[in-house]
């Protein structure tokens, strides 16, 4: 039961069960597209974090920068899209385009081994998690 693989699977089930009530709230609010937008913002933050780690090797894991980037993007979208539904959709589209563009541009300048680290944030896998991540 205390095998790390089982603990990671249980943790994944826990987070997956949280997605249902959050999705219902977002659907009723009319901003269902915010979830994929924030995940794409994570790609931009991961690319920026890995690029900074490439130039400054002592920085460590890029995950804190990913969290900061996601939270900042969600706050930005919610603040700027407060008016009407159309402005929220426009801000979601703009921030999605900026995040994905940042990811694509930075990814072209990264070495191959660092690209795999960035793409690890795109493709979720239980085997990619380490004990320090959990």
**Nearest residue to 69 via CA among 100, 30, 110, 91:** 100
Categorize the per-residue pLDDT at 44 as very low, low, confident or very high, splitting at 50, 70 and 90: confident
pLDDT reported for residue 126: 58
d(CA 30, CA 58): 42
Residue 83: phi and psi, rounded to 5, are -65, -90
What does pLDDT average to over the chain? 81
Task: Determine contact, residues 73/37, Cβ cutoff 8 Å.
Answer: yes
pLDDT class of 101 with cuts at 50, 70, 90: very high
Residues 6+ apart with CB under 8 A from 44: 69, 98, 99, 100, 102, 103, 106
Question: What is the arithmetic mean of pLDDT over 14-35?
Answer: 80
What pTM value is reported for the model?
Answer: 0.70
Which has the higher per-residue pLDDT, 114 or 83? Answer: 114
Question: Are residues 92 and 99 in contact, defined by beta-carbon separation less than 8 angstroms?
Answer: no
Query: How high is the pLDDT of residue 105?
Result: 93
- pLDDT interval class at 94 (50, 70, 90): confident
Does the pLDDT at position 124 exceed 80? no
Contact between 50 and 62 (Cβ < 8 Å): yes
């Amino acid at each position: 039961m205390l095998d790390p693989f089982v603990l990671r699977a249980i943790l994944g089930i826990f987070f997956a069960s949280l997605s249902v009530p959050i999705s219902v709230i977002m659907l009723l609010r009319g901003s269902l597209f915010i979830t994929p937008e924030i995940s794409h913002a994570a790609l931009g933050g991961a690319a920026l974090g890995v690029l900074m780690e490439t130039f400054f090797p002592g920085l460590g894991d890029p995950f804190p920068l990913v969290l900061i980037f996601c939270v900042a993007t969600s706050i930005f979208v919610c603040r700027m899209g407060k008016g009407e539904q159309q402005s929220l959709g426009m801000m979601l589209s703009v921030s999605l385009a900026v995040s994905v563009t940042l990811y694509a541009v930075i990814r072209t300048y990264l070495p191959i081994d660092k690209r795999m680290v960035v793409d690890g944030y795109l493709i979720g896998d239980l085997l990619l998690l380490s004990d320090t991540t959990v």
